[in-house]
Amino acid sequence: MQGLTEENLKLLAGPRSYERGLGYLDALSGVEVGDGWVTASVHGTERYEVELTLDGPGGLSGECDCPYGMEGNFCKHLVALGLTVLAQRESLPRQRKAARDRAQDLDGWLSGLSKDELLALVREQVGEDRQLRRRLELRAASARGDLSAVRARIRDLLDIGPFAQYGYVEYADARAYADQAGQAVSEIGALTGSGRADDAVTLAREAMRLLADAVESVDDSDGWLGQVGTDLAEAHLEACRAARPDPGELARWLVGHALGDGDDGLTDIDPLDYQEILGEEGMADLRKLAVEAWRGNRRGWAEKYLMERLAKAGGDVDAVIAVYAADLSPNGHTHLAIAHELDTARRPDEALRWAERGIQDARDLAAVDTALVDYLCDRYTQMDRLPDAFTVRRDHFGARRTLLTYQQLRAAARAADRWPAERERALALLRAEAERRQQGWYGGPVLIDALLDDKDIDAAWQAATDTGADDHQWLTLADQARPTRPADALRVYLRLAEPLTKETGNAVYERLTSLLLSIRDCHRRLGTQDEFTTYLTALRTGQKRKRNLMRLLDQHGL
């Protein structure tokens, strides 16, 4: 039982899952102790099967078929099982010995049976277990070399019919169907292992098409079929390694699959995984076919992705750039991708030209990729081209007037020693925009945020008075102006507090309490504490039924 401790459970699960696992100690059933493993069922919103490996090669580990566990995490259900095992640690050695004894007894009994008795036993199990019967039928057909029979069995295993109601497999039955589909994948792998890799390649491809059809009719919310698809792709790769199919034929199939011929989104096959199998001849065919497909559809996502992967794998930066350049996005994102590729290839001058072109080609500077703007300005700054960085920031702010672009313009203008004059121009743009604002616009004027960010409180207050501001801006203004303008701040706090007295909820009470503390501070600064006492007394009288509010006020001395 080395490795099974509370500390290790916490380490594997993390604090959150460990704490949640404490609540599942009474939800375990069917705990079974084996030699080195423990299994159980856990009942929560669903029933899950868990298994702890007590002393495997990597120490303590576990598996659970809950969604979180299927992602490879040590979940709360495993924590519950681990804690249950720890609670009976004194009896665990005895239970493990009993499990070994049972296994030895079973093996001894089976070894003593005659061939006829074993056959009778297997036939009995086959008659009772449909899944076992199907697996054995598939093994028998494989052993006979009967490809048509194996194909028929695999089709049966991938058939949704037994699990579907009205032609659709519901969430509750998806796991069972995926388990059956997984058996088909296992049998394809078994074909490779038995020396029939050519047949395994053929059947793996057929299974991919069948799975692609099936997934459209299965609620695979938990991703069970996704794992089947991953396993099927691996089975195909292993079969190809063993069978060594014709490189040209394999290249054609890989390109066709990558471009969507029968692609199901589940068997995500990377043609580069087949590089050693294809050899130089096959890779040449693969690249040729990919180029032809891309030239026929330069804007096709699959075509572009395949070309990009092959070009990057071959270290052909110019080919990668050609793929990007064939379909330049109007917001400059593609130009930026090209610039990054050229930077990686240590061609900075070309990278800069592509970034500059991205800005120049942008149809709408307000919609340009901000990462491109940042990249270009960073490059200009590194090259000590501060006026150029300032120009880009100014143009971007002119097209997209936000607090962030204002802050970026301010930093660039200061670096270029142009801020005082530029500030007036920028604020004039924001003031004109604030005066054009219409009711219903989301948020307050950017002008207020910019002046607040500049710490120009008086100008911000005047602008808010002239053009209006939203409540969040008024609150920020009041907080910043309170030391010098307590009377003005007090009026804001009182206005914001009034509607909160008509609402309920702990979040409302916390906001109201915060405002009351600010109101008290304003009265203290003004020397009118008696007015605050009168106000607070009236408020408490009117709100006395809100016990959580009263408790919160008491905690803050209000």
Nearest partner of 403 among 476, 359, 454, judged by Cα? 454
Question: Do 122 and 175 contact (CB within 8 A), yes or no?
Answer: no
- pLDDT per residue over 144-199, tens digit each? 667 788 888 889 889 998 888 888 989 888 888 888 898 889 889 888 888 889 99
d(CA 233, CA 185): 9
User: Exposed (0-12), middle (13-18) or buried (19+): which is 302, by Cβ within 10 Å?
Assistant: middle
Measured CA distances, 449 to 244, 428, 470, 476 (Å): 67, 14, 11, 9
Of 433, 430, 397, 431, nearest to 413 by C-alpha is: 397
Is the predicted pLDDT of residue 518 greater than 60, yes or no? yes
Would you say residue 267 has pLDDT above 90?
no
CB atoms within 10 A of CB 462: 12
Res. 441: pLDDT tops 60: no
Length of the chain in terms of residues written = 558
- Helix runs in 270-385, H state only: 275-296, 301-313, 317-325, 333-344, 348-361, 370-382
Which helix or strand (DSSP H or E) is residue 31 part of? strand 28-33
The predicted structure's pLDDT at residue 43: 85
In tens, the pLDDT along 275-291 reads 999 999 999 999 999 88
**Band (440; pLDDT cuts 50, 70, 90):** very low
- Report domain extents, the chain: 6-112, 482-558
449 burial class (0-12, 13-18, 19+ CB within 10 angstroms)?
A: buried
User: What is the rounded average pLDDT of the residues 444-449?
Assistant: 92
Q: Is the pLDDT of residue 263 over 70?
A: no
Phi, psi of 206 (to 5 degrees): -65, -40
pLDDT at 462 over 80: yes
* Alpha carbons 46 and 399: distance in angstroms, whole number: 53
| Model pLDDT, residue 68 | 83
Structure tokens at 257: 């699959």
What percentage of residues in the chain have a pLDDT greater than 90? 46
State the CB neighbour count (10 A cutoff) for residue 73: 17
User: Residue 293 CA to chain centroid, in angstroms?
Assistant: 31
What is the pLDDT confidence band of residue 238, given thresholds at 50, 70 and 90? Answer: very high
| pLDDT tens digits, one per residue of 312-354 | 888 889 988 988 888 888 999 999 999 999 999 999 999 999 9
Q: What is the pLDDT of residue 264?
A: 54
Q: What is the pLDDT of residues 470-516, one digit of tens each?
A: 999 999 999 999 999 999 999 999 999 999 999 989 999 999 999 99
Question: Which of 475, 477, 471 lies closest to 455, judged by CA?
Answer: 477
- The two tokens of residue 38 are 């423990």
- What does the pLDDT read at residue 2? 52
548-557 contacts, C-beta under 8 A, 24 or more apart? 548/506, 548/509, 549/509, 549/512, 549/513, 552/509, 552/510, 552/513, 553/513, 553/516, 556/513, 556/516, 556/517
Confidence at residue 1, expressed as pLDDT on a 0 to 100 scale? 45
Model pLDDT, residue 141: 67
62 within 8 A of 49, measured Cβ to Cβ: no
For the chain, the first-to-last Cα distance in angstroms comes to 58
**Lookup result for tokens 């009182």:** 494
Q: pLDDT tens for residues 82-130?
A: 898 888 878 877 887 887 888 788 788 888 888 888 888 878 887 777 7
Query: How far is 219 from 170, CA to CA, in rounded Å?
Result: 5
Q: How confident is the model at residue 226 (pLDDT cuts 50, 70, 90)?
A: confident
Q: How far apart are CA 236 and CA 188, in angstroms?
A: 8
List the 37-43 sheet strands across, edge first: 28-33, 37-43, 47-56, 59-64
The pLDDT of residue 558 is: 87
Sign, Cα dihedral of 480, 483, 486, 488: negative
- Lowest mean pLDDT: which of 5-19, 55-69, 129-143, 221-235? 129-143
Is 80 exceeded by the pLDDT of residue 445? Answer: yes
Task: Quickly state the pLDDT bin for 265 (edges 50, 70, 90).
Answer: low
